[in-house]
Amino acid sequence: MEVESINIKKATLNDIDQLQYIGRETFSETFSSSNTEENMSKYLDEGFSHEKLMDELSNVGSEFYFALFKNKVIGYLKINFGASQTELKDEEALEIERIYVLRAFHGKKVGQMLYEKALEIAKQKKTPYVWLGVWEENQRAIRFYQKNGFVAFDKHIFKLGDDEQTDVMMKLELA
């Protein structure tokens, strides 16, 4: 598989079924082994419901991008601006809320391409910094962001079903 054969495309309301599929699939692959079936089920049903995704896709402060290989969605990016951010709500900042890639495509630079898309948008918007939250147990993701220059600056609690988990908040200064 050549990196050149991967395309990045902005998702629209017409792509809701693909978004629901890739969202559920990648979240399951990433977190199922570390969480109870009940908590995963509840989160997948609520977090990736048709209604919730319609709201998110319609939100002017959020954007989704797909990574496509042979016209199949293999990963996605969600970024937030202004009041749509999950935590800091800094008008100047850009939040990377999600970068997920199907396990079969790990190690193929798909996550890096999605990350670079987020950075390109941040630079276009003259954002002084990009931030994100990553589960403290997800060492693979933490290493990915550290490799890209992010540093930890805080922590917050993320609820998955009835389980309270700690996310490490990381930021990258762009100015």
Active site residues: 145
Instruction: State phi, psi for 22 to the nearest 5 degrees.
Output: -65, -35
Burial string for 44-80 (b: 16+ CB within 10 Å, else e) reads: beeebeeeebeebbeeeebbbbbbbbeeebbbbbbbb
Kindly write down the DSSP assignment for every residue of 90-143, as one continuous string.
Answer: -TT-EEEEEEEE-GGGTTTTHHHHHHHHHHHHHHHTT-SEEEEEEETT-HHHHH
Distance CA 164, CA 175 (A): 34
Report the residue count for the chain.
175
| Pairing label, strands 129-135, 94-101 | parallel
